[in-house]
């Protein structure tokens, strides 16, 4: 990769990031010490890790497994293979599954949406099995789907064997991986993510409250999922949005329900207190135009495919810079829209915060014979 017009990009950056000259940098303390085997705190928009402990250690997930179960079902709905109004048959296996329940009855048919709500709000293991059998044909086949999606999402430290999280020697996740799939739900399925903040759900005359303690302790919290088994300890994936900043926290292996809640809230408060996040470049808007040779147009607008964010310590906004790096010395037509032509690199002083693809925002076809002849001569000089 070669550095491209850094001076010009700095001017662009100064235009895009117009604030904060008067801010004073605040000292950032170490993350709070919390009672957990592992944790992770990540900014949703930028992907910046703000705090972590044993984030890549394989741990028992308990009902955090149901986050992946939900994701797989949402993907199947989006693909048109399943509908919320479909009715799933409740097998004896689903009905007999131990642990938390939404109290579905064997032999009955239950709408997919009700099963999802029973799993999300009530943490129903019975609902999880009914969903798995309907979507995958069997629990085992559904677990294969879970692992396929985990691999696609880059969840290299996790393996799933069931849809509910009851103990199994081959069932494990990492804090980093479960944050990945939780954020995938937020990003791909915001309409379904809204269900994770539902305070209670009634099915078959039985009302149960959402088990997520953050919904009561933090008015900005809107998800995600609790988990507990004796081996896993008390676990929680949480998310809060304050102003335009969303953080996702994972706490695994806390000794008590209260320790889990206190750890989650402490991490959230730490992140919001000492960090800020900003959108630097909007998606699909040009940050520069590049010369293209042998094409039907000479200039190609380039920019990011997705919004570019940066998260950093409060008070350091004025230290942000950015540069463009080109993949090649020169660009030659044809070039299709979406082709990567370089990268945008965001820096905070000497620290690299973010590196995102820079893509062509238009198609450029081959030029006329005259244009190609002219460019061939010009490229000699």
pLDDT of residue 370: 80
Contact by Cβ (8 Å): 104, 126: yes
The answer to whether 254 is a known catalytic residue is no
**Whole-angstrom Cα distance, residue 324 to residue 9?**
7
CATH 2.60.410.10, domain 2-21+280-378, yes or no: yes
Closest C-alpha among 184, 190, 247, 251 to residue 221: 247
pLDDT of residue 380: 72
The answer to whether 63 is a known catalytic residue is yes
**Whole-angstrom Cα distance, residue 32 to residue 355?**
28
Angle among Cα 78, 82, 85 to the nearest 5 degrees reads 110
The residues, ordered by sequence, that sit 6+ positions from 87 with a Cβ below 8 Å of its Cβ are 109, 110, 111, 112
Q: Give the start-to-end residue ranges of the domains of the chain.
A: 2-21+280-378, 38-254
pLDDT of residue 57: 99
pLDDT of residue 346: 95
Contact by Cβ (8 Å): 275, 50: yes
Q: Could you give the 3-state DSSP secondary structure of residue 110?
A: strand
Closest C-alpha among 72, 63, 132 to residue 98: 63
pLDDT of residue 22: 37
Q: Which CATH class is domain 38-254?
A: alpha beta
Task: Give me the tens of pLDDT residue by residue for the chain, a chain 381 residues long.
Answer: 444 443 334 333 433 433 333 355 678 899 999 999 999 999 999 999 999 999 999 999 999 999 999 999 999 999 999 999 999 999 999 999 999 999 999 999 999 999 999 999 999 999 999 999 999 999 999 999 999 999 999 999 999 999 999 999 999 999 999 999 999 999 999 999 999 999 999 999 999 999 999 999 999 999 999 999 999 999 999 999 999 999 999 999 999 999 999 999 999 999 999 999 999 999 999 999 999 988 899 999 999 999 999 999 999 999 999 999 988 778 888 999 999 999 999 999 999 999 999 999 999 998 788 877 776 767 777
Tens digits of residue pLDDT in 298-357: 999 999 999 999 999 999 999 999 999 988 778 888 999 999 999 999 999 999 999 999
The residues, ordered by sequence, that sit 6+ positions from 11 with a Cβ below 8 Å of its Cβ are none
Q: What are the angstrom distances between the C-alpha of 26 and each of 51, 152, 317, 349, 376? A: 17, 39, 11, 15, 55
pLDDT of residue 1: 41
pLDDT of residue 333: 86
Which of the residues 37, 66, 101, 225 is marked catalytic?
Answer: 66
pLDDT of residue 375: 60
pLDDT of residue 24: 58
Which of the residues 46, 91, 100, 123 is marked catalytic?
Answer: 123
Contact by Cβ (8 Å): 50, 165: no
pTM of the complete model: 0.90
The answer to whether 123 is a known catalytic residue is yes
Which of the residues 63, 91, 238, 264 is marked catalytic?
Answer: 63
Q: Phi-psi region for residue 233, left (φ > 0), alpha (ψ -120 to 50) or beta? A: left
pLDDT of residue 25: 66
Phi, psi of 292 (to 5 degrees): -120, 135
pLDDT of residue 294: 87
């Amino acid at each position: 990769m070669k550095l491209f017009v850094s001076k010009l990009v700095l001017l662009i950056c100064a235009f895009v990031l117009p604030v904060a000259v008067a801010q004073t940098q605040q000292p950032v303390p170490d993350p709070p010490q919390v009672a957990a085997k592992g944790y992770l705190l990540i900014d949703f928009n930028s992907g910046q890790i703000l705090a972590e402990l044993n984030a890549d250690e394989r741990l028992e997930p308990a009902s955090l497994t149901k986050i992946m179960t939900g994701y797989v079902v949402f993907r199947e709905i989006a693909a048109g293979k399943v509908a919320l109004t479909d009715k799933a048959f409740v097998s004896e296996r689903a009905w007999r599954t131990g642990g938390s329940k939404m109290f579905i009855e064997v032999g009955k048919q239950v709408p997919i949406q009700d099963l999802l709500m029973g799993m999300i709000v009530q943490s129903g293991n019975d609902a999880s099995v009914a969903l798995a059998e309907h979507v995958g044909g069997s629990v085992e086949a559904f677990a294969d789907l879970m692992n396929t999606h985990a691999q696609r999402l880059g969840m290299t430290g996790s393996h799933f064997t069931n849809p509910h999280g009851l103990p199994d020697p081959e069932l494990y996740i990492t804090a980093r991986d479960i944050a990945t799939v939780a954020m995938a739900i937020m990003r791909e399925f915001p309409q379904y993510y809204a269900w994770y903040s539902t305070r209670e759900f009634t099915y078959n005359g039985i009302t149960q409250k959402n088990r997520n303690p953050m919904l009561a302790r933090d008015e900005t919290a809107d998800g995600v999922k609790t988990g507990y088994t004796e081996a896993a300890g008390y676990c929680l994936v949480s998310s809060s949005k304050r102003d335009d900043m969303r953080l996702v926290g994972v706490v695994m292996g806390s000794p008590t329900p209260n320790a889990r809640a206190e750890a989650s809230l402490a991490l959230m408060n730490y992140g919001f207190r000492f960090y800020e996040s900003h959108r630097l470049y909007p998606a699909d808007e040009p940050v520069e135009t590049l010369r293209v040779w042998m094409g039907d147009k000479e200039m190609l607008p380039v920019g990011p495919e997705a919004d570019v964010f940066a998260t950093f310590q409060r008070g350091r906004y004025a230290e942000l810079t950015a540069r463009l790096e080109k993949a090649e010395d020169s660009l030659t037509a044809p070039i299709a829209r979406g082709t990567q032509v370089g990268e945008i690199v965001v820096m905070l002083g000497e620290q690299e915060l973010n590196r995102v693809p820079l893509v062509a925002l238009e198609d450029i076809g081959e030029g006329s014979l005259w244009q190609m002849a002219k460019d061939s001569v010009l490229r000699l000089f």
